[in-house]
Amino acid sequence: MTRSRCSQALSRWAMALCLLSLMACGSNRPKPAELPAIVQPMAVQTLWSFALGEIKIPMVPVFTPQGRVVLTTSAGELVTLQMANGQLVERVSLKETLSAAVGSDGKRHAIVTRNNQLIAIEGGKEAWRQGLSAQVFTPPLVAGERVFVLLADRTVQAYDGASGRLLWTQARAGEPLVLSQSGTLMSFGNTLVAGLTGRLTGFDPTTGRILWDAPMATPRGVNDLERLVDIVGLTHRSDPYLCARAYLSQVACINASRGQVAWARPSQGEQGLSGLGSVVVGTESNGLVVAWQRDSGDRLWESDRLKYRHLSAPVMTENAIWITDDAGQLYLLDPKNGQLIHRSSLDGSALVAPPLNHQGVVLMVTRKGLVRAMRSA
Protein backbone atom coordinates (compact mmCIF):
# COMPACT_ATOMS: atom_id res chain seq x y z
CA MET A 1 0.00 0.00 0.00
CA THR A 2 1.38 3.43 -0.88
CA ARG A 3 1.76 6.00 1.85
CA SER A 4 -0.96 8.12 0.26
CA ARG A 5 -3.37 5.18 0.33
CA CYS A 6 -2.15 4.36 3.83
CA SER A 7 -3.06 7.87 5.03
CA GLN A 8 -6.49 7.54 3.43
CA ALA A 9 -7.00 4.22 5.20
CA LEU A 10 -5.94 5.77 8.49
CA SER A 11 -8.49 8.53 8.03
CA ARG A 12 -11.28 6.04 7.31
CA TRP A 13 -10.36 4.04 10.40
CA ALA A 14 -10.22 7.24 12.45
CA MET A 15 -13.77 8.07 11.35
CA ALA A 16 -14.86 4.57 12.33
CA LEU A 17 -13.32 4.99 15.76
CA CYS A 18 -15.10 8.32 16.20
CA LEU A 19 -18.43 6.68 15.35
CA LEU A 20 -17.74 3.89 17.84
CA SER A 21 -16.90 6.48 20.47
CA LEU A 22 -20.11 8.40 19.84
CA MET A 23 -22.13 5.20 20.04
CA ALA A 24 -20.49 4.34 23.35
CA CYS A 25 -21.43 7.73 24.76
CA GLY A 26 -25.07 7.55 23.72
CA SER A 27 -28.24 6.82 25.66
CA ASN A 28 -26.96 3.40 26.83
CA ARG A 29 -24.11 4.96 28.74
CA PRO A 30 -24.19 3.69 32.37
CA LYS A 31 -25.32 6.12 35.03
CA PRO A 32 -22.36 7.69 36.88
CA ALA A 33 -21.77 6.57 40.43
CA GLU A 34 -23.22 8.75 43.20
CA LEU A 35 -20.57 11.03 44.62
CA PRO A 36 -19.88 10.60 48.33
CA ALA A 37 -19.89 13.49 50.76
CA ILE A 38 -16.46 15.00 51.31
CA VAL A 39 -15.78 15.17 55.05
CA GLN A 40 -12.60 17.26 54.95
CA PRO A 41 -12.38 18.90 51.52
CA MET A 42 -9.01 20.05 50.26
CA ALA A 43 -8.82 23.67 49.17
CA VAL A 44 -7.68 24.50 45.64
CA GLN A 45 -6.24 27.85 44.58
CA THR A 46 -6.24 29.31 41.07
CA LEU A 47 -2.92 31.09 40.59
CA TRP A 48 -3.75 32.58 37.19
CA SER A 49 -5.86 32.01 34.09
CA PHE A 50 -5.63 32.96 30.43
CA ALA A 51 -8.27 32.89 27.67
CA LEU A 52 -7.04 31.27 24.44
CA GLY A 53 -10.37 31.06 22.63
CA GLU A 54 -12.27 27.91 21.72
CA ILE A 55 -10.03 24.94 20.93
CA LYS A 56 -11.20 22.25 18.52
CA ILE A 57 -8.03 20.18 18.23
CA PRO A 58 -6.27 18.08 20.89
CA MET A 59 -3.14 19.69 22.28
CA VAL A 60 -0.34 19.01 24.70
CA PRO A 61 1.22 22.11 26.32
CA VAL A 62 5.00 22.02 26.47
CA PHE A 63 7.10 23.52 29.27
CA THR A 64 10.42 25.16 28.41
CA PRO A 65 13.65 25.54 30.41
CA GLN A 66 12.95 29.28 30.57
CA GLY A 67 9.96 28.76 32.88
CA ARG A 68 7.37 29.18 30.14
CA VAL A 69 4.60 27.11 28.58
CA VAL A 70 3.87 27.00 24.85
CA LEU A 71 0.39 26.19 23.54
CA THR A 72 -1.39 26.00 20.20
CA THR A 73 -4.86 27.20 19.18
CA SER A 74 -7.41 26.10 16.60
CA ALA A 75 -6.68 29.30 14.71
CA GLY A 76 -3.11 28.15 14.09
CA GLU A 77 -1.41 30.31 16.71
CA LEU A 78 1.51 29.66 19.01
CA VAL A 79 1.00 31.22 22.42
CA THR A 80 3.80 31.44 25.00
CA LEU A 81 2.99 32.27 28.63
CA GLN A 82 5.07 32.75 31.75
CA MET A 83 4.33 29.87 34.11
CA ALA A 84 4.93 32.07 37.14
CA ASN A 85 2.06 34.48 36.45
CA GLY A 86 0.38 33.62 33.15
CA GLN A 87 1.63 36.76 31.39
CA LEU A 88 1.71 36.64 27.60
CA VAL A 89 5.25 36.42 26.23
CA GLU A 90 4.57 35.84 22.55
CA ARG A 91 1.64 35.15 20.22
CA VAL A 92 2.56 34.04 16.71
CA SER A 93 -0.06 33.61 13.98
CA LEU A 94 0.96 30.80 11.64
CA LYS A 95 -2.09 30.90 9.35
CA GLU A 96 -1.90 27.12 9.21
CA THR A 97 -4.26 24.38 10.38
CA LEU A 98 -2.35 22.10 12.71
CA SER A 99 -2.57 18.32 13.06
CA ALA A 100 -0.57 18.06 16.28
CA ALA A 101 0.49 20.17 19.23
CA VAL A 102 3.73 22.12 19.33
CA GLY A 103 7.20 20.94 20.29
CA SER A 104 9.63 23.47 21.75
CA ASP A 105 12.89 23.92 23.60
CA GLY A 106 12.05 27.54 24.36
CA LYS A 107 14.11 28.93 21.49
CA ARG A 108 12.88 26.88 18.56
CA HIS A 109 9.28 25.71 18.05
CA ALA A 110 8.14 22.94 15.70
CA ILE A 111 4.62 22.26 14.44
CA VAL A 112 3.02 19.99 11.83
CA THR A 113 0.16 21.11 9.59
CA ARG A 114 -2.84 19.18 8.28
CA ASN A 115 -1.16 18.99 4.86
CA ASN A 116 1.88 17.26 6.42
CA GLN A 117 4.28 20.19 6.56
CA LEU A 118 6.85 20.24 9.38
CA ILE A 119 7.57 23.90 10.19
CA ALA A 120 10.24 25.32 12.50
CA ILE A 121 9.61 28.72 14.09
CA GLU A 122 12.37 30.94 15.50
CA GLY A 123 12.02 34.51 16.72
CA GLY A 124 8.35 34.51 15.76
CA LYS A 125 9.10 33.67 12.10
CA GLU A 126 9.25 30.56 9.97
CA ALA A 127 12.83 29.26 9.80
CA TRP A 128 12.24 26.29 7.50
CA ARG A 129 9.71 23.69 6.46
CA GLN A 130 9.83 20.14 5.20
CA GLY A 131 7.13 18.02 3.60
CA LEU A 132 6.36 14.74 5.38
CA SER A 133 5.19 11.50 3.81
CA ALA A 134 2.36 10.79 6.28
CA GLN A 135 0.16 12.46 8.85
CA VAL A 136 1.42 13.37 12.32
CA PHE A 137 -0.66 13.32 15.52
CA THR A 138 2.15 13.41 18.09
CA PRO A 139 3.85 16.73 18.92
CA PRO A 140 7.39 17.00 17.51
CA LEU A 141 10.25 16.82 19.99
CA VAL A 142 12.77 19.67 19.89
CA ALA A 143 15.97 18.72 21.72
CA GLY A 144 19.73 18.77 21.24
CA GLU A 145 19.58 21.08 18.19
CA ARG A 146 17.37 18.54 16.43
CA VAL A 147 13.69 18.19 15.63
CA PHE A 148 12.24 14.68 15.90
CA VAL A 149 8.89 13.56 14.46
CA LEU A 150 6.79 10.41 14.83
CA LEU A 151 4.64 9.84 11.75
CA ALA A 152 1.29 8.06 11.77
CA ASP A 153 2.85 5.10 9.93
CA ARG A 154 5.30 4.86 12.87
CA THR A 155 8.28 6.19 10.95
CA VAL A 156 10.65 8.19 13.18
CA GLN A 157 12.70 11.00 11.62
CA ALA A 158 15.30 13.48 12.83
CA TYR A 159 15.95 16.90 11.26
CA ASP A 160 18.72 19.40 11.84
CA GLY A 161 17.19 22.15 13.95
CA ALA A 162 18.99 25.01 12.23
CA SER A 163 18.67 24.01 8.56
CA GLY A 164 15.81 21.50 8.42
CA ARG A 165 18.04 18.92 6.72
CA LEU A 166 16.88 15.33 7.17
CA LEU A 167 19.45 13.53 9.33
CA TRP A 168 18.01 10.03 9.59
CA THR A 169 14.88 7.93 9.19
CA GLN A 170 13.82 4.75 10.96
CA ALA A 171 10.84 2.95 9.44
CA ARG A 172 9.39 -0.36 10.52
CA ALA A 173 6.39 -2.45 9.62
CA GLY A 174 3.42 -1.75 11.87
CA GLU A 175 -0.25 -2.46 12.21
CA PRO A 176 -2.48 -0.95 9.49
CA LEU A 177 -4.61 0.86 12.09
CA VAL A 178 -3.32 3.53 14.47
CA LEU A 179 -5.06 6.02 16.72
CA SER A 180 -5.42 9.60 15.52
CA GLN A 181 -4.26 10.96 18.87
CA SER A 182 -0.98 11.88 20.45
CA GLY A 183 1.46 9.03 21.05
CA THR A 184 4.83 8.87 22.78
CA LEU A 185 7.94 10.71 21.59
CA MET A 186 10.29 11.88 24.31
CA SER A 187 13.85 12.03 25.55
CA PHE A 188 15.00 9.90 28.48
CA GLY A 189 18.55 10.80 29.39
CA ASN A 190 20.57 10.48 26.18
CA THR A 191 17.97 8.22 24.53
CA LEU A 192 15.13 9.11 22.18
CA VAL A 193 12.05 7.03 23.09
CA ALA A 194 9.11 6.45 20.73
CA GLY A 195 5.93 4.41 21.07
CA LEU A 196 5.65 2.02 18.12
CA THR A 197 2.63 -0.31 17.94
CA GLY A 198 2.62 -1.71 21.44
CA ARG A 199 6.35 -1.22 22.01
CA LEU A 200 8.60 1.44 23.47
CA THR A 201 11.74 1.75 21.39
CA GLY A 202 14.92 3.56 22.36
CA PHE A 203 17.00 5.26 19.63
CA ASP A 204 20.39 6.90 19.50
CA PRO A 205 19.25 10.47 18.71
CA THR A 206 22.42 11.18 16.72
CA THR A 207 22.33 8.22 14.33
CA GLY A 208 18.85 6.72 14.66
CA ARG A 209 20.32 3.34 15.66
CA ILE A 210 17.90 1.27 17.76
CA LEU A 211 19.35 0.80 21.25
CA TRP A 212 16.56 -1.31 22.72
CA ASP A 213 13.02 -2.44 21.98
CA ALA A 214 10.62 -3.20 24.84
CA PRO A 215 7.26 -4.91 24.15
CA MET A 216 4.48 -3.29 26.22
CA ALA A 217 1.59 -5.27 24.70
CA THR A 218 1.08 -7.84 21.94
CA PRO A 219 -1.55 -7.25 19.22
CA ARG A 220 -4.29 -9.87 19.48
CA GLY A 221 -7.64 -10.42 17.81
CA VAL A 222 -9.15 -11.27 14.46
CA ASN A 223 -9.37 -7.77 13.00
CA ASP A 224 -7.35 -4.56 12.94
CA LEU A 225 -9.54 -2.85 15.55
CA GLU A 226 -9.10 -5.67 18.06
CA ARG A 227 -5.34 -5.67 17.42
CA LEU A 228 -4.96 -1.97 18.21
CA VAL A 229 -2.37 -1.58 21.01
CA ASP A 230 -0.89 1.85 20.38
CA ILE A 231 1.05 3.50 23.21
CA VAL A 232 -1.22 6.39 24.20
CA GLY A 233 -0.96 9.63 26.11
CA LEU A 234 1.70 10.77 28.51
CA THR A 235 4.11 8.45 30.29
CA HIS A 236 5.29 8.45 33.88
CA ARG A 237 9.04 8.74 34.16
CA SER A 238 10.93 8.07 37.37
CA ASP A 239 14.55 7.14 36.76
CA PRO A 240 15.29 4.44 35.74
CA TYR A 241 11.64 3.56 35.10
CA LEU A 242 9.40 4.64 32.27
CA CYS A 243 5.74 3.61 32.58
CA ALA A 244 3.19 3.77 29.77
CA ARG A 245 -0.21 2.52 28.64
CA ALA A 246 -1.04 0.41 25.60
CA TYR A 247 -4.52 1.28 24.37
CA LEU A 248 -7.24 -0.86 26.03
CA SER A 249 -4.64 -3.51 26.73
CA GLN A 250 -1.95 -3.10 29.39
CA VAL A 251 -0.03 -0.79 31.67
CA ALA A 252 3.68 -1.54 31.90
CA CYS A 253 6.91 -0.13 33.29
CA ILE A 254 10.32 -0.64 31.74
CA ASN A 255 13.81 -0.08 33.02
CA ALA A 256 14.78 2.52 30.42
CA SER A 257 18.50 2.23 31.15
CA ARG A 258 18.39 -1.34 29.80
CA GLY A 259 15.17 -1.36 27.78
CA GLN A 260 13.79 -4.29 29.78
CA VAL A 261 10.16 -4.68 30.83
CA ALA A 262 9.94 -4.67 34.64
CA TRP A 263 6.25 -5.60 34.77
CA ALA A 264 3.01 -5.44 32.78
CA ARG A 265 -0.58 -5.61 34.00
CA PRO A 266 -3.89 -5.87 32.09
CA SER A 267 -5.67 -2.52 32.02
CA GLN A 268 -8.66 -1.33 29.99
CA GLY A 269 -7.75 2.34 29.64
CA GLU A 270 -7.43 4.89 26.87
CA GLN A 271 -5.54 7.71 28.62
CA GLY A 272 -1.94 8.23 29.62
CA LEU A 273 -0.42 7.75 33.07
CA SER A 274 0.92 9.92 35.83
CA GLY A 275 2.73 9.27 39.07
CA LEU A 276 5.11 10.52 41.70
CA GLY A 277 7.95 8.65 43.31
CA SER A 278 7.05 4.97 43.57
CA VAL A 279 3.34 5.37 42.69
CA VAL A 280 1.87 5.10 39.17
CA VAL A 281 -1.75 6.11 38.61
CA GLY A 282 -4.16 5.82 35.68
CA THR A 283 -7.86 5.93 34.78
CA GLU A 284 -9.77 3.05 33.22
CA SER A 285 -12.37 3.43 30.46
CA ASN A 286 -15.16 2.70 32.95
CA GLY A 287 -14.03 5.45 35.35
CA LEU A 288 -12.05 3.37 37.81
CA VAL A 289 -8.92 5.08 39.12
CA VAL A 290 -6.06 2.66 39.80
CA ALA A 291 -2.73 3.06 41.57
CA TRP A 292 0.17 0.63 41.04
CA GLN A 293 3.49 0.24 42.83
CA ARG A 294 6.12 1.44 40.37
CA ASP A 295 8.78 -1.20 41.07
CA SER A 296 6.60 -4.31 41.26
CA GLY A 297 3.31 -3.48 39.50
CA ASP A 298 1.33 -4.50 42.59
CA ARG A 299 -2.05 -2.78 42.76
CA LEU A 300 -2.02 -0.39 45.71
CA TRP A 301 -5.69 0.60 45.50
CA GLU A 302 -8.54 1.25 43.11
CA SER A 303 -11.35 3.77 43.46
CA ASP A 304 -14.82 3.52 41.93
CA ARG A 305 -15.89 6.95 43.24
CA LEU A 306 -15.87 8.40 39.72
CA LYS A 307 -17.11 5.35 37.84
CA TYR A 308 -18.74 6.02 34.44
CA ARG A 309 -17.80 9.71 34.43
CA HIS A 310 -15.64 9.63 31.28
CA LEU A 311 -12.45 10.79 32.96
CA SER A 312 -9.37 12.57 31.71
CA ALA A 313 -5.88 11.29 32.29
CA PRO A 314 -4.79 11.95 35.88
CA VAL A 315 -1.93 14.08 37.12
CA MET A 316 -0.34 13.51 40.51
CA THR A 317 1.15 16.06 42.89
CA GLU A 318 2.55 15.59 46.39
CA ASN A 319 -0.84 15.60 48.12
CA ALA A 320 -3.47 14.95 45.44
CA ILE A 321 -4.41 13.17 42.22
CA TRP A 322 -6.15 15.60 39.84
CA ILE A 323 -8.76 14.33 37.36
CA THR A 324 -11.53 15.97 35.32
CA ASP A 325 -14.56 14.61 33.50
CA ASP A 326 -16.22 15.51 30.20
CA ALA A 327 -18.63 17.88 31.98
CA GLY A 328 -15.80 20.09 33.20
CA GLN A 329 -15.83 18.90 36.80
CA LEU A 330 -12.56 18.78 38.71
CA TYR A 331 -11.90 16.02 41.25
CA LEU A 332 -9.02 15.50 43.64
CA LEU A 333 -8.29 12.10 45.17
CA ASP A 334 -6.08 11.24 48.13
CA PRO A 335 -2.93 9.51 46.72
CA LYS A 336 -2.79 7.20 49.75
CA ASN A 337 -6.19 5.55 49.30
CA GLY A 338 -8.15 7.08 46.40
CA GLN A 339 -10.69 8.84 48.63
CA LEU A 340 -12.42 11.89 47.09
CA ILE A 341 -11.10 15.07 48.76
CA HIS A 342 -12.24 17.86 46.41
CA ARG A 343 -14.87 18.61 43.78
CA SER A 344 -15.42 21.84 41.84
CA SER A 345 -16.32 23.10 38.36
CA LEU A 346 -13.91 24.48 35.77
CA ASP A 347 -15.84 26.13 32.92
CA GLY A 348 -18.30 23.41 31.96
CA SER A 349 -16.20 21.95 29.15
CA ALA A 350 -13.85 18.98 28.92
CA LEU A 351 -10.08 19.27 28.75
CA VAL A 352 -8.37 19.31 25.35
CA ALA A 353 -5.03 18.39 26.91
CA PRO A 354 -4.03 16.11 29.74
CA PRO A 355 -3.54 17.98 33.02
CA LEU A 356 0.15 18.58 33.67
CA ASN A 357 2.26 19.04 36.80
CA HIS A 358 4.91 21.76 36.67
CA GLN A 359 6.78 21.97 39.96
CA GLY A 360 3.61 21.39 41.98
CA VAL A 361 1.42 23.66 39.85
CA VAL A 362 -1.24 21.90 37.77
CA LEU A 363 -1.95 23.32 34.31
CA MET A 364 -5.31 22.65 32.65
CA VAL A 365 -6.67 23.70 29.24
CA THR A 366 -10.39 23.36 28.47
CA ARG A 367 -12.25 23.09 25.18
CA LYS A 368 -13.56 26.63 25.70
CA GLY A 369 -9.94 27.78 25.74
CA LEU A 370 -9.47 28.52 29.42
CA VAL A 371 -5.87 27.96 30.57
CA ARG A 372 -5.72 27.69 34.34
CA ALA A 373 -2.78 27.19 36.72
CA MET A 374 -3.88 25.70 40.04
CA ARG A 375 -2.41 24.46 43.27
CA SER A 376 -3.83 22.48 46.18
CA ALA A 377 -3.55 23.87 49.69
17 has pLDDT over 90: no
**pTM of the predicted model, to two decimals?**
0.89
> To 5 degrees, how large is the angle CA 108–CA 86–CA 75?
60
Is domain 56-171 annotated with CATH 2.40.128.630?
Answer: yes
Give the whole-angstrom CA distance, residue 377 versus residue 371: 20
**Residue 329 CB partners (closer than 8 Å, separation 6+):** 309, 343, 344, 345, 346
Q: Give residue 327's pLDDT.
A: 93
Alpha helices in the chain (DSSP H): 3-24
Handedness of CA 197, 203, 208, 211 (dihedral sign): negative
Higher pLDDT: 346 or 173? It is 346
Mean pLDDT (the chain) is 89
More confident residue, 86 or 183: 86
Convert the pLDDT of each residue in 23-36 to its tens digit.
344 457 799 989 98
Q: What is the pLDDT of residues 192-232, one digit of tens each?
A: 999 988 899 999 999 999 999 999 887 666 565 666 678 88
